[in-house]
Structure 1
Amino acid sequence: MTGFTPLASLIGGMMIGLSAVLLMLWEGRIAGISGIAGRLLPPYRDSAFLSRFGFVIGLVTAPIAMIAVGDVEVSQTVSSNIPLMLGAGLLVGFGSVWGNGCTSGHGVCGLSRLSTRSFVATGIFMTTAIITVFLIRHVIGA
């Protein structure tokens, strides 16, 4: 279980919201991570490539910078089960394509725009996440 950090969580949420608003304001784009990351690959070599690249680099380097600068305890682990991780990655990628967006696009940007499609998508992936956690922790016992 992670610690209760309301101030850090509030600040983090505000930063996510601010970055989504700024991306919409400056680029006219929704801050959906799967769409941004997916458009780093060919054939999407256009004028917005550098801003997408910078966005993804920020996602990767921000936690590293927090660990280096702050007194951040890293308590989360990544599974060493390679087939499980590959399967999970493929399912997330498939879900992002099939659902026309990912959790950040629908959950952060879509809900704030009162998008019906995003309400449905967010409800589906949150329900699926709850069921998955329940099954893995209480039925399978992993």
Structure 2
Amino acid sequence: METVFTPWQSLGGGALIGVAATLLMLSLGRVFGATGILSGLLSPGPSQDRLWRLALLLGMVSGPLAVLLLSGQMPAVQVPVSVPMLLIGGLVVGVGVTYGSGCTSGHGVCGLARLSPRSFIAVLTFMITTAGTVYVLRHVIGA
């Protein structure tokens, strides 16, 4: 499996996430945690709370449409796993988010910015687990 390093796209995407997280905190006093935003949208609550959550989620998934409008073609996406593996991965992530009290965006972007000790431990756990997974997949299994 080849990994393509895209520093400018990564920098641009990271900057947009940072700006979005900052604007959400400044305007509504809310933390930008993607799974918390989604779960808040799906659970019962005030309608004005649903509106900003829906707008934010639509903004997150509209990136490919923006690329289409700007370039005239959809971005190429390759997913090297089967649909059942994607579903299992989603389930594992959902369990991890539940037990970790948040997702990578919530802990990594917002929690670290607020100097949250819990987020520091969570991000450290994410990074160690990711490094171990990559090592096993690339050097032990050979995928």
Q: CA separation in 2, counterparts of 1:88 and 1:44?
A: 28
Do the aligned residues in 2 keep the contact of 1:79 with 1:85 (CA within 8 Å)? no
Instruction: Please tell me the residue identity of whatever aligns with 1:108.
Output: V
Q: CA separation in 2, counterparts of 1:90 and 1:3?
A: 28
**1:93 maps onto 2:113 in alignment:** no
> RMSD value over aligned CA atoms?
2.1
Matched residue of 1:78: which SS?
coil
Q: CA deviation at 1:87?
A: 1.4
1:71–1:89 CA distance, 2 compared to 1 (3 A): same
Write the mapping of 1:55-94 to structure 2, written as runs, cut at 5 A: 55-70=56-71, 74=75, 76-94=77-95
Instruction: Please tell me the residue identity of whatever aligns with 1:41.
Output: L
Do the aligned residues in 1 keep the contact of 2:24 with 2:30 (CA within 8 Å)? yes
Corresponding position of 1:2: 4
Do the aligned residues in 2 keep the contact of 1:35 with 1:101 (CA within 8 Å)? yes
Do the aligned residues in 1 keep the contact of 2:67 with 2:75 (CA within 8 Å)? no
Give deviations 1:53-104, integer Å, cap 9, x for gaps: 0101111011331244138894542244233212111110111111110000
Corresponding position of 2:43: 42
Instruction: Please tell me the residue identity of whatever aligns with 1:109.
Output: C
Q: CA separation in 2, counterparts of 1:72 and 1:109?
A: 33
Give the TM-score of the pair, scaled to structure 1. 0.87
Matched residue of 1:2: which SS?
coil
How many corresponding residue pairs?
Answer: 141
1:79–1:38 CA distance, 2 compared to 1 (3 A): farther
Q: CA separation in 1, counterparts of 2:74 and 2:84?
A: 28
Instruction: Please tell me the residue identity of whatever aligns with 2:53.
Output: R
Give the TM-score of the pair, scaled to structure 2. 0.86
Write the mapping of 1:14-29 to structure 2, written as runs, cut at 5 A: 14-29=15-30
1:68–1:140 CA distance, 2 compared to 1 (3 A): farther
Identity of aligned residues (%): 45
Do the aligned residues in 1 keep the contact of 2:65 with 2:74 (CA within 8 Å)? no
5+ unaligned residues in a row in structure 2: which ranges? Answer: none
